[in-house]
Amino acid sequence: MEDGSQNFNEKYGVAAADHDAPSSGQPVSNSWRDEPLTAAESSKVTEILQACKNGDREQIAALATSLGGLIEDHVRRIAWPILLGNSSADAGHTDDWQNLPVHRDEEQVKLDVHRAFVYYPTGESEKQIEGRKHELSDLITGLLRRHPCLHYFQGFHDIAQVLLLVLGADQAAPLLARLSLLRIRDYMLPTFSASESHVQLLPAIVYATDPKLCQHLARLQPYFAIAATLTLYAHDIEEYGGISRLFDFLLAHEAVISVYMYATIIMTRKKELMEFEADDEDMMYAILSKLPKPLDIEALITRTTSLFAKHPPETLPFKAWRKVSSYSVLKTTRDPNALSKQTLQEGELLHAKHAAQIKRQETLQKMTAQSRLLAYRYRKPAGAFTVAIVIGVLSLWLGRSGNGSSASSLAMVLDAKDKLLWVFSKTWTGLRL
pLDDT of the residue at 5: 41
Q: Quick one: pLDDT at residue 380? A: 57
Cis ω before 294 (30° cut-off from 0):
yes
Q: Tell me, which fold does domain 190-324 have in CATH?
A: Cyclin A; domain 1 (1.10.472)
- Whether 389 has a pLDDT exceeding 50, the answer reads yes
Q: How confident is the model at residue 16 (pLDDT cuts 50, 70, 90)?
A: very low
The pLDDT value given to residue 88: 58
Four-residue CA torsion sign, 138, 143, 149, 153: negative
Cα–Cα distances (Å) from 94 to 169, 179, 319, in that order, read: 14, 17, 43
What does pTM read for this prediction? 0.83
pLDDT tens digit sequence for 50-92: 999 999 999 999 999 999 999 999 999 999 999 999 765 565 5
Q: Which residues contact 131 (CB under 8 A, 6 or more apart)?
A: 22, 23, 24
Residues 209-228: what's their mean pLDDT? 97
First to last CA, the chain: 93
Which DSSP state fits 22? P
Helix axes 73-84, 57-65, angle to 10 degrees: 130
In the chain, what percentage of residues exceed pLDDT 90? 71
State the Cα–Cα distance between residues 250 and 305, nearest whole angstrom: 11
Residues 127-172 pLDDT 10s: 999 999 999 999 999 999 999 999 999 999 999 999 999 999 999 9
Domain 39-183 classified CATH 1.10.10.10?
no
- Residue that wins the pLDDT comparison between 377 and 176: 176
Q: Inform me whether the pLDDT recorded for 95 exceeds 90.
A: no
pLDDT score at 340: 85
